[in-house]
Chains A and B, each alone.
Chain A
Amino acid sequence: MRVNYYFTNTYMMKRTFSWLSAWVLASGLLVVSCSFPDEEDDTDPIETGTIQLQFDNIVGDKDLQLDSTKYVNAAGEDFTVSKLNYYISNIKLTRTDGSVFTVPQDSSYFLIREADSQSQKLTIRNVLTGDYTGIEFLVGVDSLRSVMEPDSPGRKGILDIYAGPTNEEGMYWDWNPGYIFLKLEGSSDSSATPNGKYYYHIGFFGGRTQRTINNLRTVKLTFPGQKAIVTTSIVSSVVIQADIQKIFNSPTQLSIKQSPSLMFTDSTKYVADNYAGMFNVKEIKIN
């Protein structure tokens, strides 16, 4: 079968292979360690700790309230938010010396849901100790995962399209297979839909057999004036704000009246560009 995959992230393959070899090597070490069961593991100085990422969805300078609060976008249109979900994946942390710690693939996929406060707090374990000054992540699910067979282990957990939050929240187009990276819905007096709602469902990872648009966006943030310290005992919590106003307003000003439904059009790229810029690090808390 001729299937051309268009990888949005060319590093993914390499990374997968390097992880594969890491596992193979690791299993080799394991055999050795098993043959010397009494040996203490006192030779390895590498230590790890935990870091937390707290996503906080806001509108302007206020905490986002689902349904109850009316906001006004830059086009002067009122809107409420009834649903806001987005995937955060492929997380990397930058250290003071510029080196990068890549969160292992098996713990690097999250679905943030405004209606579920637990989903907004990401706990990442086994992070190399050190002082971190920045973070990088993808909004959405990379093409490599998107084209895996749905029954493969890499598509289980939060990426399971038939069970759990991804299925319950309908974060997947099964008729045009691909994850919906970000789903924003609400009501607006400016919406011309029969129920007065607006729908932004942003997906498209670049295409499976044929190139399509690619709405995957990488976000890079620096921690302002603070470091996130990771030690074996100190857990830093990075508070990342996501300002929903920016989805409508900048850099491209969108109008609910003009497009109450943005799902399967080229214009979705403007939404993706806008939300790529909605994140900022508010503060680092030390727990």
Chain B
Amino acid sequence: MRKVTGILSILAALLALVVSCSKKTDAPEPVVPPDDKPTPLEWTKPSYFPDPVYDLSENPLTVEGVELGKFLFYDGILSRTDNIGCGTCHQQQAAFTHHGHDLSHGVDDKIGTRNAPSVQNMAWNTSFFWDGGVHDMDMVPAVPIQNKVEMDERVANVIEKLRKTPVAGATKQVDYPKMFKAAFGSDSITADRMMQALSQFMMTMVSATSRYDYFVRGDASALTAQEKDGLSVFKQKCASCHAGELFTDQKFRNNGLAPNRINDQGRYTITLNADDRLKFKVPSLRNVGLTAPYMHDGRFTTLEQVLDHYANDKPGSKDSIYVSPTLDPLLNVAGQKRGISLTNTEKQSIIAFLKTLNDDDFIKDKRFSDPGIGTSF
């Protein structure tokens, strides 16, 4: 207890010192003129969506913040080689995935270990990436930036590069100090602000204008008879995992894929819990018709292949469901053939339904498009 009193007195003395030293220096803080204030941007969720997970009160959206986030999203300055941006592997026309790439493709033509997931409806994610290692959207961008085979850059160095813009003679002139000032009131460029701006932009990337959405909102004619059949089979046989309006229960499950050559253990690498071996996050199925190839390593190129896997009747394969202790019980019901029983007609109607989740407005929306600084391979 004497110790506490001692510490207390030291603190008191220190504080007294600090205050007495700084007492006379009460120069007024520079006042930001009101017209320099960023413009608030209202964010509303589609009425039938759940409440968002991201806490907007900590990072309120502004027009300038979202705009800055969009530039950062597309700018290759985030990578060591200055030519790989987020938008390189998350391309709008493929619902922000990397069309034609099973595994992520980074600097110097290096190849990653997993398929680039869609950047959409991020506001509702309880975790990010196939293994769900990250729980906060603000902490997402650093992962690809600092991954050796993706962008291979240090965030600290990105900040240095941003501070030095605009670069004289560069073909794409972006003045980041000016944009940070517009978004945050001062031209100080920090990693925290960069992450916030990127989150602001990603918050706006909401896909909720597919034909399915029009159907949900009351337009019965938005879906054909086959698509409606597909929806009802889907609800019966797929929606226990691909649940709700986001078409994911956000859980980690082992869907019976045989381990790949690198023996990717998925969620296990985060928790080191044997119960998590071979489990991956259940992805949303929104825009699934646009986001081929499929699965965490992009092993299936078509939705037909995906359904053949789940139905366990992949051509030429006796049993495509890989059995291991963590295999999802829904795919391994005692006394039944493993997998989900689906007729050919059911498969076709499910696929027809899944394609109604394609959101053409979303993939053409100029608000999310490359402002002219992006690169794509």
Measured CB to CB, the closest approach of chain A to B276, in angstroms, equals 9
Which residues does chain B contribute within 8 Å of A101, judged by CB atoms? 3
Contact segment of B8-16, B34-42, B213-221, B283-291? B8-16
Which residues does chain A contribute within 8 Å of B8, judged by CB atoms? 22, 25-26, 29
CA distance A213 to B272 in the complex (A): 7
- The answer to whether B273 and A212 have CB atoms under 8 Å apart is yes
- The answer to whether B147 and A175 have CB atoms under 8 Å apart is yes
CA distance A167 to B2 in the complex (A): 40
CA distance A150 to B146 in the complex (A): 16
Flag whether B156 is at the interface (Cβ < 8 A): yes
- The answer to whether A22 and B4 have CB atoms under 8 Å apart is yes
Measured CB to CB, the closest approach of chain B to A8, in angstroms, equals 15
Flag whether A30 is at the interface (Cβ < 8 A): yes
Contact of A33 among B2, B12, B147, B190 (CB under 8 A): B12
Measured CB to CB, the closest approach of chain A to B124, in angstroms, equals 13
Which residues does chain B contribute within 8 Å of A22, judged by CB atoms? 4, 7-8, 11
Contact segment of A80-88, A138-146, A184-192, A201-209? A201-209
Q: Which positions 105-121 of chain A face chain B at CB distance < 8 Å? A: none
- The answer to whether B191 and A163 have CB atoms under 8 Å apart is yes
Given A174-B134, A174-B139, A174-B142 in contact, is the A266-B6 Cβ separation under 8 Å? no
Measured CB to CB, the closest approach of chain B to A183, in angstroms, equals 15
CA distance A265 to B135 in the complex (A): 21
Which residues does chain A contribute within 8 Å of B15, judged by CB atoms? 26-27, 29-30
Flag whether B271 is at the interface (Cβ < 8 A): yes
Chain B interface, number of residues (Cβ within 8 angstroms): 41
- The answer to whether B11 and A26 have CB atoms under 8 Å apart is yes
CA distance A27 to B16 in the complex (A): 9
Flag whether A41 is at the interface (Cβ < 8 A): yes
- The answer to whether B269 and A264 have CB atoms under 8 Å apart is yes
Measured CB to CB, the closest approach of chain B to A2, in angstroms, equals 11
Give the interface SS of chain B, mostly helix, strand, loop or mixed. helix
Q: Which positions 143-197 of chain A face chain B at CB distance < 8 Å? A: 149-151, 161-164, 167-168, 170, 173-177
CA distance A14 to B24 in the complex (A): 37
CA distance A177 to B271 in the complex (A): 11
Which residues does chain A contribute within 8 Å of B195, judged by CB atoms? 150-151
CA distance A102 to B156 in the complex (A): 32
Which residues does chain B contribute within 8 Å of A252, judged by CB atoms? none
- The answer to whether B271 and A175 have CB atoms under 8 Å apart is no
CA distance A41 to B9 in the complex (A): 11
Given A151-B192, A177-B134 in contact, is the A100-B272 Cβ separation under 8 Å? no
Give the interface SS of chain A, mostly helix, strand, loop or mixed. loop
Flag whether B333 is at the interface (Cβ < 8 A): no
Which residue, of B15, B155, B190, B272, has the highest number of chain A Cβ atoms within 10 A? B272
Chain A interface, number of residues (Cβ within 8 angstroms): 48
CA distance A101 to B272 in the complex (A): 36
Nearest A-chain residue to B2, judged by Cβ: A99
- The answer to whether A162 and B272 have CB atoms under 8 Å apart is no
CA distance A22 to B7 in the complex (A): 8
The tally of CB-CB contacts under 8 A between chains A and B is: 112
Nearest B-chain residue to A208, judged by Cβ: B135
- The answer to whether B159 and A163 have CB atoms under 8 Å apart is yes
Flag whether B67 is at the interface (Cβ < 8 A): no
Measured CB to CB, the closest approach of chain A to B61, in angstroms, equals 17
- The answer to whether B13 and A44 have CB atoms under 8 Å apart is yes
CA distance A204 to B2 in the complex (A): 36
Which residues does chain A contribute within 8 Å of B129, judged by CB atoms? 175
- The answer to whether B133 and A162 have CB atoms under 8 Å apart is no
Flag whether B143 is at the interface (Cβ < 8 A): yes
- The answer to whether B9 and A30 have CB atoms under 8 Å apart is no
Flag whether A233 is at the interface (Cβ < 8 A): no
Measured CB to CB, the closest approach of chain B to A38, in angstroms, equals 12
- The answer to whether B272 and A150 have CB atoms under 8 Å apart is no
CA distance A135 to B9 in the complex (A): 23
Measured CB to CB, the closest approach of chain B to A203, in angstroms, equals 11
- The answer to whether A48 and B10 have CB atoms under 8 Å apart is yes
Which residues does chain A contribute within 8 Å of B138, judged by CB atoms? 150-151
Nearest A-chain residue to B192, judged by Cβ: A151
CA distance A207 to B133 in the complex (A): 11
Which residue, of A162, A210, A211, A213, has the highest number of chain B Cβ atoms within 10 A? A162
Measured CB to CB, the closest approach of chain A to B93, in angstroms, equals 27
Nearest B-chain residue to A3, judged by Cβ: B135
CA distance A210 to B159 in the complex (A): 33
Nearest B-chain residue to A127, judged by Cβ: B10
Q: Which positions 107-161 of chain B face chain A at CB distance < 8 Å? A: 129, 131, 133-136, 138-139, 142-143, 146-147, 154-156, 159
Which residues does chain A contribute within 8 Å of B16, judged by CB atoms? 29-30, 33-34, 41
Contact of A163 among B131, B135, B156 (CB under 8 A): B156
Flag whether A244 is at the interface (Cβ < 8 A): no
Flag whether A126 is at the interface (Cβ < 8 A): yes
CA distance A149 to B6 in the complex (A): 31
Which residues does chain A contribute within 8 Å of B6, judged by CB atoms? 46, 128
Known: A175-B134, A176-B133, A212-B271. 15 other contacts (CB 8 A): A22-B4, A22-B7, A26-B15, A30-B15, A33-B12, A99-B2, A149-B136, A151-B192, A151-B195, A161-B155, A162-B190, A162-B192, A167-B156, A176-B134, A177-B134
Q: What would be 29 A-B contacts, judged by CB atoms less than 8 Å apart? A: A22-B7, A23-B11, A29-B8, A29-B12, A46-B6, A99-B3, A126-B10, A150-B192, A151-B195, A162-B142, A162-B156, A162-B159, A162-B192, A163-B191, A164-B156, A167-B154, A167-B156, A174-B139, A174-B142, A175-B134, A175-B143, A177-B135, A207-B271, A208-B135, A210-B271, A211-B273, A212-B272, A265-B272, A266-B272
- 8 closest A-B pairs (Cβ-Cβ)? A162-B191, A151-B192, A29-B12, A176-B133, A26-B11, A174-B142, A162-B155, A167-B156
